[in-house]
Structure 1
Amino acid sequence: MAIGKQAGISPRDFDRIMAEKVPFVGDMGVITESLDAGVARLRLPFDQRFIRPGNVVCGPAIFALADIALYAVAWMVAPVADYAVTTEATVHFLSGAKPGDLIAEARILKAGKRLLIAQCDIRSAVDDALCAHVIGTYAMPPADKAG
């Protein structure tokens, strides 16, 4: 599979696809800042609902952002990644994320015919602290479902 910017998939296209096909993502307000050369950069705007005791962003919000960013890189190797699904993810929470926007940067480690392996770092936009590191595997859609 070629790694790079897919023809026809722009950050705005990905945001629209997510809002239409995965309404939960649209409800979170995730914004795709860039999709280029096997790297996706997304932003989760801060919402008070994401705060947990200790005044840090909760783990489910952090992991949701990482999973969405990993899904974005799947769209960079499949013309239509509707049927790509997460098969495995390992999350390392490294520091508490202060209240504020979160930035995800996901990149492809290996793209095969059946599996895509990628990593994602989540940083706080408040102080640039690395909050989480995620490695994920996606089962890629069969050729007859990919486009």
Structure 2
Amino acid sequence: MDARRAAETYRPLMQAREVNAFLREVFPQACGGEPPDYRALDIWPGGCHVRLEAGFQHLRPGDTVSGPSLFALADIGGYVCALSHIGPEALAVTTNLNINFMRKATAGPVDGHCRILKLGRRLMVFEAELFSGEKQATVAHATGTYSLPPTGGA
């Protein structure tokens, strides 16, 4: 979906600062530090930009950001997409996440650009492309699905 169609289809209900405050409250393990390891940088209709500040605790031998840390960034990107478009619903949960690792991610900022592929009443499907290093090379690509909590009379 191009940006124009996404803007017509999806309307964020929360901005990055609101999502980050909510994440600090409900998910302090990953998003509660100062600065947090994982955070939302920007939100737009149908997508978001998230970041991992990859430090020593995220590295494996060879000074490579670990797969679980990158997986978490993709997953948090999906969560930020869901929260920002449905509102503060802590019980939106991952039902599926597939990731392909493409090249080494180095310590420092690792960015994730996420976009909603489909947002329904009960499920949201998204993709995330993760970037690292000076050249912002793609280090991983993920697709996932979130189960959304029922609303009101659904």
SS at match of 1:68: helix
Residue 18 (str. 1) matches residue 23 (str. 2): yes
Task: Tell me the equivalent position of 1:4.
Answer: 11
Once the two structures are TM-superposed, the CA of residue 93 in structure 1 deviates from its matched residue by: 0.7
Structure 2: gaps (5+ residues) = 1-8
Q: Distance in 2 between matches of 1:68 and 1:57?
A: 16
SS at match of 1:102: strand
Task: Tell me the equivalent position of 1:87.
Answer: 95
Q: Distance in 1 between matches of 2:39 and 2:148?
A: 23
Once the two structures are TM-superposed, the CA of residue 145 in structure 1 deviates from its matched residue by: 9.3
Across the aligned residues of Structure 1 and Structure 2, the Cα RMSD in angstroms comes to 1.8
**For the Cα contact (< 8 Å) 2:110–2:131, is it kept in 1?**
yes
**For the Cα contact (< 8 Å) 2:118–2:124, is it kept in 1?**
yes
Between 1:28-37 and 1:106-115, the stretch displaced more is: 28-37
Aligned with 2:44 (options 4, 13, 36): 36
Matches within 5 A, 1:64-143: 64-143=72-151
Show CA shifts across 1:82-117 (max 9, x none): 221000010111111022210011100011111110
| Deviating 4+ runs (over 4 angstroms) | none
Q: What TM-score do the two structures reach when normalised by structure 2? A: 0.86
The number of residue pairs the alignment matches comes to 143
Q: Distance in 2 between matches of 1:131 and 1:105?
A: 12
**For the Cα contact (< 8 Å) 2:105–2:133, is it kept in 1?**
no
Percent identity of equivalent pairs: 31
Residues 73 and 145 from structure 1, CA distance in 2 versus in 1: closer, same or farther, beyond 3 angstroms?
Answer: farther
Q: What TM-score do the two structures reach when normalised by structure 1? A: 0.89
What amino acid does structure 2 have at the position aligned with 1:3? Answer: Y
Residues 113 and 15 from structure 1, CA distance in 2 versus in 1: closer, same or farther, beyond 3 angstroms?
Answer: same
Structure 1: gaps (5+ residues) = none
Task: Tell me the equivalent position of 1:62.
Answer: 70
Once the two structures are TM-superposed, the CA of residue 125 in structure 1 deviates from its matched residue by: 4.0
Residues 139 and 145 from structure 1, CA distance in 2 versus in 1: closer, same or farther, beyond 3 angstroms?
Answer: farther
Residues 58 and 145 from structure 1, CA distance in 2 versus in 1: closer, same or farther, beyond 3 angstroms?
Answer: farther
